[in-house]
Structure 1
Amino acid sequence: MSHPTHDTDLTDDTEVSNVVAFPLPSTEQTDADEVEDSGALVEITEANEVEVLDGEIVDEDEAPNAGVPAVLAGTARRELLPIIPAWLADRDQFQATVRWAWTYCHHTARYHAVRVPLYTLKLTAASPRGMGRAVMTWQRWAFDTESRALRQSTIDAADPSAYLALSRQRDDHVRTRLRVSAVTAFLSALGLGVVWLMYPEAMQTVLMWTVVVSIIAFGLLGRREDKPIVKTAVLGQQASKLTPDVVVRAFVGAGLCKEDTPVTFAQPIQRDGRGWLAVVDLPYGKHAAQAVGKRESLASGLNVNPITVFIDPDQVSARRVRLWVSDVDVFAQKPVTSPLAGMEEFDFWQPIPFGLDARDRKVTLPLIWSSLLVGAIPRMGKTFSARIPTAAAALDPYVELFVFNGKGDGAWRAFEKVAVAYGAGVRDQVMELLVTTLRKMVADMNDRFERMAKLPVDVCPEAKLTPAMARNKRLNMPLTVLSIDEVQRYLEHPEYGAEVLALLTDLVKVGPAAGYMLILATQKPDGKVIPDSLRGQIGSRFAMKVMTWQASDTILGAGSYQAGMDASKLSRSHKGVGILLGSDDSELAEQGGQITRTHLLSSADVEVMCDRGRALRSALGLLKGMAAGEAPTVETTGSVLDDVANALTAVAGNAAGAHTEVVLARLAEMRPEFYDGWTGSTLAGALKAYGVEPTQVWGTTPEGEKKNRQGYKRDAVVAAQSARIDHAR
């Protein structure tokens, strides 16, 4: 099919259709016989003529980007800039911008006003030098001294005609300029004379202003480059302006671009809250993670404190970053009281107000389908941070709350009013209560999954708990929040620590789907104390000040340091500040690591909130457990290790061990409220913490046959019991 030329006449009978232009191969590729491109087979002949061998006429309505001009077709894939700038559209940002402008102008005016006498002395002292420079400049101009070198060159070249021409030109210039100077002087003197004759009373004022203007003019002309008359009014970071030159200098200094290939700006630098926002495009091949890792180098190039520099990736492009430079140390400001303190009730299914980011934007923490790990060195606000989501759970009457405080102080005592179970310290009775609680939780979790599997799809979609299910008393599947502060003290317990680890790990792995959320806080973010089997399953992390980047990686997850997230760089003076990161599929994970200043919830606020939560639960008949005055049921029969030892004694007799299914059946008979629903993997996880691993055991199956299967040997269990006793001593 041949193509018509552009000058082909189209009559009224000609059928007109839109032709979709296929990208044509370069004419340099003459050695290619055939190229298949965009569904059309294109043949390149020796004369570089292109012939479409196969094509299709596309109707106007079906054509890609039909009706869209070609110049706008690519714009649909680009980010549309806001019509009204953010600092005008947002009331808070507008007020912040006005405050900054007022601060800048007010400070500058006051700074220079008090230095007017000093500036006068400097200008007066420099005016004689300036007058001399003015006279010399006038002399060079009036007598055309600049052309002297040119005339000398004609003498050296022995060119008399050129010399005579230049001499006549110079004489003309001198005569004209001297006349202009004389006329100017005469008119100036005449003007002064007229003023003196007609307005003698104003002559003194005119002379005074003449002297003032002369001093200023000659003073500025006579100033020295190394000693400016007027210095800048802003030497610090506050109220200083961020300019493109400064930003480019910073990125060049950080090695993120070169002077011949600098960064570009997606939009003009503008005020944003209490700082400046620059949307920067890195050179091709560079990516945002590299800029995030160069935060301190960029701060050096900007000549500011690193704590005021924040770099966030932009979703539009992998090479685009949003550079925000604060006027002040935002994290040194007075903390903001949590909005939870003023709420009468809270829906725990909604994201929890957690704090503010550097730009004073609200940061929320969604905990549904997730759990939270908080880590920090002592006295950095770890307990205050962990109490925020726990207090949110207290304000939801449909949430069953369990609280354990490993430190044993009174920081969590207010939650006794609403908690189904509450324990403080690591005394034996508290440990037994915690272990009993965890066992019941694991058994209930397994029971929930079994019951949810039998529910209709419209009642239990996606095999997860829903708000309607959680609030249905008949189903008895309420949201359950377990909050443990100083969890390392329970995990290090010589007798129960291993079982606590196994049970917590089981809850964290699959519990969220059944409505179990955990909030764990520790001042010992150690991989040995909180192993990856537990830590790696927690979806949300909040790392406050730690001592090393390795400790930061332990909390936030491996690879966080390489991604530019290092909690060891946080300042000790910034209480309640940390890096909030989501590592699961929640909304928080999509936002990446955020440096967050948590809201403040004082002990008095928590006390009031727990009173409200208690009243809500009492009104709905949902006050349970220790909060309702019920004595906790505590099992003192020992740990999982002891139960397995007893089960092996009962079922194995004199044999070396028993199969896993046989041990599980015996455990379920001994304590069905705890072990009913346990699987082989659940038991293996619980015993692994004691160093007991399943192995091949020759024994009798439940069907009475002798076979070699996975099981546990009596000697290994007894040895683990002895090792635990020796460790306790």
Structure 2
Amino acid sequence: MSEHIDWDAYEQELSDVDSAPVLVDSAADVTPQLVPGGEHRRPVLPPWLKSLRAARDMARWALGYTWHTFRFHLVRIPVYGGKLALRSPRGLWRIVRGGFRWGFDLEGEPVRQAAVRREDAHEYLKLSAQRDNRVRLRVFLAVTGTSVLCCAGWWLAMLPAWQRYSLLALVVLGLGALGAPADKPLLDRAVVTARVARLTSDVVIRALGVLGLAGINQALAKNGNAVGFAAPITRDGPGWRADIDLPAGVTAGEVIDRRDKLASGLGRPLGCVWPEAAHEVHPGRLVLWVGDQDMATSRQPAWPLLKAATADLFKAFPFGTDPRGRTVTMDLVYTNLLIGSIPGYGKTMALKLPLLTAALDPTAEVWVFELKGTGDLEPLAKVAARYASSADDDAAEAALIALRDLRKECAKRAEVIKGLPKTVCPENKVTPELARRKSLGLHLLVVAIDECQELFSHPEFGKEAGALAEKVIKLGRALGVVLLLATQRPDAKSLPTGVSANVGTRFGLRVLGHVENDMILGTSAHRNGIRATMFVKRDKGVGQLVGAADEPQIVKTFYVDGPTADRAC
């Protein structure tokens, strides 16, 4: 007998299967997966443990702290002795009173009185017998001890006078130590330390909540855990580091733009709070470092190269320190440098450091053109093959002639490199070995133009100078020609677009607007959170360094004054 098939029911079942929702996310899909190359491996050792300079600084601080504390208390020994002498009667009274209470078992008196109040005769008799046994033993020990002390006193009376007085002084000092009030310590404080609160997740979330960012406030209102932390908050050098994942739609640049409010929310000085964007992770990853001390007022170490006899431009040279106090280095070869800020914030000082490094390299040639005419770079006149310092057209014309010669020099060097065999010059660029061969003429050539806006905005020289500078920047990088430009007026007229767009390394100190910020640090730098506009009046010498490392860095340059630079040259 054939089975009857209900075709209508079968078609309905197929229809239900087709219309069922398809689950596109499995449990494994929504769980974070470890993808090769996608993880961020934290260093095995903290950075401060791998820094020789940090170790030296810590050792120097410990020795200095110990030496200061020793001297502080040494000169106060007479004061401490007087305090102990005044407190010795109280110490003697405490010994006598304590001995009396111990000898007659007065500490058990409240328990015996409680037994009397309860009229518990059996308990009282037992406690009294225990007290009598204790008193007999303790009185015997006290009498024996007193006899021994009397004999010792008789023996001490036979000692020389200086020994008697020394022992008497020790006894008085000991009694003074026993008589010290609990609320009045004997020693004064040699160092008054600042109380810096620990950075916690609650403190960070509270500070982010006062920034006035709608994305953060709305996310926190819906979920108190909307702000995430990619790693535990830890000590990082002289401060605390927090890796923060901001709520969806909020970028690190928005927080950086409100650095003053963030510092207010954290209850810390503005110079202690340094938020940075971690673009290599995602735009919403914020790295917040909160220092113990204001960066603007912290002690800056001496420039390390001042103790060096020579320098090698093919190696990175020390340029400054970051907020954590770590040395920041900069490469000068195969790049060019643009420095910009408003007047008076360390632009010329920042330019002086690479020039002094070049002066210490015996294979490098230095040209210096200072178009302000104040002589800030005059020490370099001792070592510069070309030097001009003036606010008139003579110095600007000298800089223009130098750019013309640089353009010719680039062409000549390109011909020399092209004629070298591949075994000698495999990458078609100047190497340390080639730079040291005088016969080739490929030595490093470092040319600095301070206040370059005076040249580029010149009605007669400006257009040609801008075109030449752009050519030199593009061609000279591989030819051992390094161009250093510094300006206090970064705008389109004073800094040609072709120049600002091709410079590889940039250092922006304080500026007042996002247009100037992007002229120095690169297009969209302000939008991406790289902002020299966040620096305030006290942040002299502090700027954003772009191009010297994979990520932008906040750097406080080393300070080399005029006489020191003169001695170095």
1:305 aligns with 2:269: yes
Residue 379 of structure 2 aligns with an amino acid whose one-letter code is: A
Counterpart residue number, 1:273? 237
Counterpart residue number, 1:600? 559
Counterpart residue number, 2:454? 489
CA distance, structure 2, for counterparts of residue 399 and residue 314 of structure 1? 37
1:575-608 per-residue CA deviation (whole Å, 9 max, x = no partner) reads 21111112xxxxx25122x221100112222222
1:124-170 per-residue CA deviation (whole Å, 9 max, x = no partner) reads xxxxxxxxxxxxxxxxxxxxxxxxxxxxxxxxxxxxxxxxxxxxxxx
Q: How far apart are 1:552 and its partner, in Å? A: 2.1
Q: How far apart are 1:395 and its partner, in Å? A: 0.6
| Count of residues in correspondence between the two structures | 427
Matched ranges for 1:151-550 at <5 A: 238-254=195-211, 255=213, 256=216, 257-258=219-220, 259-283=223-247, 288-314=252-278, 317-318=281-282, 319-550=284-515
RMSD of the alignment, in Å? Answer: 3.9
TM-score by length of 2: 0.66
Counterpart residue number, 2:531? 566
Q: Cα gap change, 1:81/1:363 in structure 2, threshold over 3 Å: closer, same or farther?
A: closer
CA distance, structure 2, for counterparts of residue 276 and residue 187 of structure 1? 60
CA distance, structure 2, for counterparts of residue 316 and residue 478 of structure 1? 37
Residue 352 of structure 2 aligns with an amino acid whose one-letter code is: R
Q: How far apart are 1:378 and its partner, in Å? A: 2.0
Counterpart residue number, 1:591? 551
Residue 241 of structure 1 aligns with an amino acid whose one-letter code is: R
Residue 314 of structure 2 aligns with an amino acid whose one-letter code is: W
Of 236-245 and 551-560, the range deviating more from structure 2: 236-245
Q: How far apart are 1:366 and its partner, in Å? A: 1.1
Residue 243 of structure 1 aligns with an amino acid whose one-letter code is: T
Residue 507 of structure 1 aligns with an amino acid whose one-letter code is: V
CA distance, structure 1, for counterparts of residue 260 and residue 17 of structure 2? 52
CA distance, structure 2, for counterparts of residue 553 and residue 189 of structure 1? 89
Residue 456 of structure 1 aligns with an amino acid whose one-letter code is: P
Greater RCO structure (CA 8 Å; 6+ sep): 2
CA distance, structure 2, for counterparts of residue 76 and residue 442 of structure 1? 44
CA distance, structure 2, for counterparts of residue 546 and residue 508 of structure 1? 24
SS in 1 for 2:286: strand
The answer to whether the 8 A contact 1:314-1:321 is kept is yes
The answer to whether the 8 A contact 1:78-1:316 is kept is no
Instruction: Flag structure 1 segments of 5+ consecutive residues without an equivalent.
Output: 1-28, 38-70, 107-182, 201-235, 583-587, 611-729
Q: Cα gap change, 1:455/1:313 in structure 2, threshold over 3 Å: closer, same or farther?
A: same
Q: How far apart are 1:478 and its partner, in Å? A: 1.5
Q: How far apart are 1:425 and its partner, in Å? A: 0.7
Q: Cα gap change, 1:82/1:491 in structure 2, threshold over 3 Å: closer, same or farther?
A: closer
Residue 276 of structure 2 aligns with an amino acid whose one-letter code is: D
Residue 405 of structure 2 aligns with an amino acid whose one-letter code is: K
CA distance, structure 2, for counterparts of residue 72 and residue 495 of structure 1? 63
SS in 2 for 1:389: helix
The answer to whether the 8 A contact 1:237-1:304 is kept is no
Q: Cα gap change, 1:380/1:287 in structure 2, threshold over 3 Å: closer, same or farther?
A: closer
Q: Cα gap change, 1:380/1:350 in structure 2, threshold over 3 Å: closer, same or farther?
A: same
CA distance, structure 2, for counterparts of residue 544 and residue 573 of structure 1? 12
TM-score by length of 1: 0.52
CA distance, structure 1, for counterparts of residue 39 and residue 394 of structure 2? 63
CA distance, structure 2, for counterparts of residue 295 and residue 521 of structure 1? 27
Instruction: Flag structure 2 segments of 5+ consecutive residues without an equivalent.
Output: 1-15, 25-31, 70-110, 136-192
Q: Cα gap change, 1:76/1:332 in structure 2, threshold over 3 Å: closer, same or farther?
A: same
Q: Cα gap change, 1:253/1:435 in structure 2, threshold over 3 Å: closer, same or farther?
A: closer
Q: Which has the larger radius of gyration?
A: 1
Q: Cα gap change, 1:321/1:188 in structure 2, threshold over 3 Å: closer, same or farther?
A: farther
Q: Cα gap change, 1:418/1:72 in structure 2, threshold over 3 Å: closer, same or farther?
A: same
Q: How far apart are 1:472 and its partner, in Å? A: 1.6
Q: How far apart are 1:522 and its partner, in Å? A: 1.6
Residue 555 of structure 2 aligns with an amino acid whose one-letter code is: T
Q: How far apart are 1:77 and its partner, in Å? A: 5.0
Q: How far apart are 1:89 and its partner, in Å? A: 6.9
CA distance, structure 2, for counterparts of residue 311 and residue 575 of structure 1? 19
Q: Percent identity?
A: 35
Q: How far apart are 1:413 and its partner, in Å? A: 1.9
Q: How far apart are 1:445 and its partner, in Å? A: 0.7
Q: How far apart are 1:287 and its partner, in Å? A: 5.1
The answer to whether the 8 A contact 1:238-1:327 is kept is no
Matched ranges for 1:104-119 at <5 A: none
The answer to whether the 8 A contact 2:256-2:276 is kept is yes
Q: How far apart are 1:483 and its partner, in Å? A: 0.8
Q: Cα gap change, 1:80/1:509 in structure 2, threshold over 3 Å: closer, same or farther?
A: closer
CA distance, structure 1, for counterparts of residue 436 and residue 281 of structure 2? 43
The answer to whether the 8 A contact 1:406-1:424 is kept is yes
